[in-house]
Structure 1
């Protein structure tokens, strides 16, 4: 077989027959990944394999390339997959535009209703269902307010990423309720980082880093400047706290998102229509705190926040 960039993940055990499976005696899942394979994909695969140990996964890693994703969609159309899995809003939008019949389970989509991927959380009215990685931003801001009484909040976001934009819009919506002002800090390329203002009269008093792969990649250089200005930071990505130096994170458990998505997939394998399976988001979140950054920027963290932290970088 010629190499097409597709990775095959196979495991072999006997499967109880299901009413909607393809000709093969085990589920065949096409996994379209916009970013690198991670905890959510591991959770999804392990969840499916608990019920269907012989499930076969075809992993199509698009690396944020729309043309490559389209090639993979064309390739997948030649195979008899039982289900499409897709991670991220950008990829989910393209997959649902191209595939109207195969059941689709999405993950890592901040706002599936607002982005037009599904009709409502209760029923999609199409061939999709999924698990969102949405975290109540109000809760995030309240956690940050326990450390800093900021009145201006710089929001680092990527205008080309729909998930990043959705977080920005929600932060702007909440301004009158928590009495702060958003300062937009758009980033679409690495050279723009040096132009961001984190000190001086026009600088924010705290910084929110939205969930975005570009921001994650630039996290070290961005957070060096943020921490150098002694600004508290709140990240929507766990790795920005544990690996890049952000002060605080209130983030979803991505592995758990994958496991919940697997439950939706199993319902589909057993005959349910995606539109009959409500989409949802997690109702609990992980608190991450970087004590190196606490000491570096010289802030006080209340004991009430320390005791609920799931991850503390010491």
Structure 2
């Protein structure tokens, strides 16, 4: 084989190898995208979250675990747009940042303590957002009962009345009722759809409303009269809860002021006597004293919060 023929053969083989390489890379990337989409569908990831979502890889890994599925349910109950992966990344950043700041500003001994407090604060944030959403939903319950009563009195079925209320009411009631209406459209019973709503937003007022709707749909009776009586009751409970919250606001502020004063005292002490916190936590007796003091602050915070919590 002469030189020109060999050169052409080499160029042909090289071109074929490049074409096959590009085709293989395209097939590999397409298969990877299909696999990621399949994992997202199996994990019940909303369609809007499947593209261009930060920490998408971490989100898929987190959703595969039991803890990730529970976290996804808690995030859904709070109404936030964060995915489990985004929340996990943010939580790790907050915990690591708190450790680093406490290590630099106070003393290395306070780094792990600050990290534990930050982890508790991140977990409490979800509970706080869920309580806020539940309170907003409870505040809309009288209007919800009124809309359902008017729709039922007009001759509409309960499923249609729920869909109408979902369109008329604002968030969070509108969003939650839309989920209930979608569940009933897919064939779920009113009992199952309302039970899922109770799991997302647990409250006594919602239990009363759900019980009224379920019993009325199961046993019949005057649904309109029951809903109108329930509307009056919910309005009274709403005013009672508002009065109690106003009267207990000072106690709530005191619960948060106590640990803030303690942390402020540490910062003030280190400002007046630089290096005093490092010297204090340099011995075993000093560490024990700090831990005991922090424990007392935690107990005081928990007791004050428990005293200010009144169930109506």
- Which category describes the TM-score, using the shorter chain as reference length? under 0.3
Tell me the TM-score normalized by structure 2.
0.23
| Higher share of residues assigned helix | 2
Structure number, greater radius of gyration: 2
| Higher share of residues assigned strand | 1
